[in-house]
Every structure is written in structure tokens, then in C-alpha cells.
Structure 1
Amino acid sequence: MDEEERAAFLESFTADNKRSLVGFAVLGGVFSEGIDLKGDRLNGVVVVGVGLPQIGFERDLIKKHFAGIGKNGYDYAYVFPGMNKVLQAGGRLIRSEKDTGRIVLIDDRYLLPKYQALLPNNWKNFTLW
């Protein structure tokens, strides 16, 4: 998707849209930062998974480094960067004091204490389906 196509995609999210519109994006992708859909232009975000980065050499170096200084290397290499992407996705929804909306997190791991501790307090008033 080039710059013009991205702009057209975002422009389709209008506050006075007469039909429901669903857009799909990838955590950490081109729509993860710098997107400002205020008011009723965006009223929901669904995040599937906890955003863990792909296993790789660099991530393993980070993991080994933090494990070597007595920290949980897996959390620093994978969990924290993944949850940062999740929080950024949720941040697309609330851009001003007047914005409201729903965030749906789809993954049982969000129920684990490790992940609960990384969620903002205002995300913790949730309903299980």
C-alpha cells in the first residue's frame, strides 16, 4: 500500500458514515503510529494476540542479556515489545478527552497476571465472553 492508498483508506473512516466499516491492520504496521481518527471516526479496536515479535537472533541476544543480569529475558525480548504494540493499537481509539470506544482483546494470555500488570487500569474493567 503506497502513501496515496493509505490516505484513501484512512479518509474512508468518516464520522458521518452511513454504513458500518471495518478496517484490518497489523500490529506494528504502517497504521500503528501517526493515525489520528478523532471523534466517531473510530469507535472500536480489536486486537488478536499479544503482539509477540518473531523469534530471531536479535531478540535472543536481548533475552540473553537481560537473563544475564538477573531479569526475565523472555519478557524483555518478547512480552514487553509485544504489549507495547497492543497499547499503541488501543491508543488509535482514544485520541482526545471526548473520544470513547471499545477495545476487544482476543487471547487468553490477557487473563494472566503477567499481562494484566501491563495493561492500563482503565482497560481492566472488562467483560469475558
Structure 2
Amino acid sequence: MGMKKDYEDIPGTFVFDADRSREGYHLNQFCISLGKQKNRDAFKADPEGYLDKYPMTPEQRQAVLDRDWNRLLELGGNIYYTSKLAAFDGINFQNLAGLMTGMGVEAYREMMLKGGRPIEGNRYKSEWGEEE
């Protein structure tokens, strides 16, 4: 990745910028391919073989196989494209958010209905007093 960016200090966030876009190009191409039924059928029949079409890094490939949603974003996945993989698994966007936060669907839904996470302690990782 390129230079350190101020927004990397935002906790729990992987900003999809130009660097992540380049890093995740093949990962995102795979995910977007799942928009077509013939590709979903091919991926379901032979996940490993289907992934061979996309020259992803070993880490990206493993994150796909593990359905490691946050790792997919960290490795350059775009949330709108990676949600195609979730949809392939029958996971809607709200449920995906619940999984990604570790809160579960109902707790996540309740939090969002109450206005989301509080700002205090969630604005910057540097406020936590921990070294990265």
C-alpha cells in the first residue's frame, strides 16, 4: 500500500481508496462475477477451480474460502462486491453487517435503530492509547 493516510486511524474501518482498489482488483472481479447465474453455478460446483480464474493473492483466496468478511475488506475487497459473495451464501446485507461487527443481527439492528455506535472511544484508534 501507499503512504500512511489519516483515515487509517478510524477504528474498524478499511477505506476503499485507490490503493485498496488496485490491491483488490481480482478479488472484486471474482465477487462481481457472482452476479451471473452461470458463474454462481460454476463456483458452487467447484469453488477452488472457479477461483483459479482469478489471480488473487493466497490471502485473498483463503479469505474467500473462509468467508472472512472483514479480512476481504482489509485485502482490497469493496463492500458492495463482497456482499455478492454473502448473497451467494444467502446472507443479506443487514445480517452481513451483524456478522462483521461480531454483534449478531439483532444487536446490530437494535444499535442502528438507536442511532449507531457512540462517538466516544470510536473516533480514532490513537485515542485508545494502544500501539498499532
Shorter-chain TM-score: what band? under 0.3
Q: Which has the higher helix share?
A: 2
More strand by share: 1
